[in-house]
């Protein structure tokens, strides 16, 4: 998995191109990646000159690709301002992914297509319930809680903070569950999984 990319701090990669690939191959990593992009834009204070200097300029890109990357960041900055998520929160396009995944998760649980999927979810459910109690928004979905937890771990690792063995174990359980979610979601997207009655 590309979680190692985030954890090693190799942040200055070709974000737009990586995001496009992740969107097609691993929806879980795609969303974590996009949350990191939102925070990166905040760190650069929504300043395209800083984005250009620190992200775009260091790479030897064809002029067309450089222009596309510039415009991608510019559009994200514009959307973040329009949606008033400069300080915190997520773009609607990223929220929509959470909604889709949560709906898909509900279908998976109801269908019982794979007993291990349900078992892995029930394994993390007690921790999800603990996390829910600490959230100001009690209406947050289970899938978003999973993402919040993993993104928090990712942030701690990037800050070189110590992570307890219990938290590392929980991270492994969350990652295993979300890997299953991604597996079945990708099958669903390409039409190899259906919830229709046979």
Tell me the whole-structure pTM to 2 decimals: 0.81
- Check residue 70 and report its DSSP letter: H
Q: Please write the tens of the pLDDT for every residue from 4-46.
A: 333 333 333 445 555 566 566 788 888 888 898 899 999 999 9
- pLDDT over threshold 90, residue 90: yes
172, 119 contact by CB (below 8 A): no
184, 108 contact by CB (below 8 A): yes
pLDDT (0 to 100) of residue 64:
80
């Amino acid at each position: 998995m590309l979680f190692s990319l985030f954890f090693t701090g190799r942040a200055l990669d070709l974000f737009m191109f990586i995001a496009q690939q992740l969107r097609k191959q691993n929806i879980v990593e795609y969303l974590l990646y996009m949350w990191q992009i939102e925070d990166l834009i905040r760190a650069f204070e929504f300043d395209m000159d800083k984005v250009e200097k620190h992200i775009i300029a260091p790479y030897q890109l064809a002029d067309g690709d450089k222009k596309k990357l510039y415009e991608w960041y510019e559009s994200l900055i514009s959307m973040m301002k329009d949606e008033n998520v400069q300080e915190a929160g997520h773009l609607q396009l990223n929220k929509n992914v959470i909604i889709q995944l949560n709906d898909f998760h509900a279908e998976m649980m109801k269908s019982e297509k794979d007993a291990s999927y349900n078992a892995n979810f029930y394994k993390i459910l007690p921790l999800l319930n603990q996390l829910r109690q600490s959230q100001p928004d009690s209406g947050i979905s289970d899938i978003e809680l999973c993402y919040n937890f993993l993104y928090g771990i990712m942030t701690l690792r990037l800050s070189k903070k110590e992570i307890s063995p219990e938290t590392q174990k929980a991270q492994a359980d969350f990652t295993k569950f979300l890997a299953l979610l991604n597996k079945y979601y990708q099958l669903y997207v390409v039409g190899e999984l259906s919830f229709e009655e046979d």
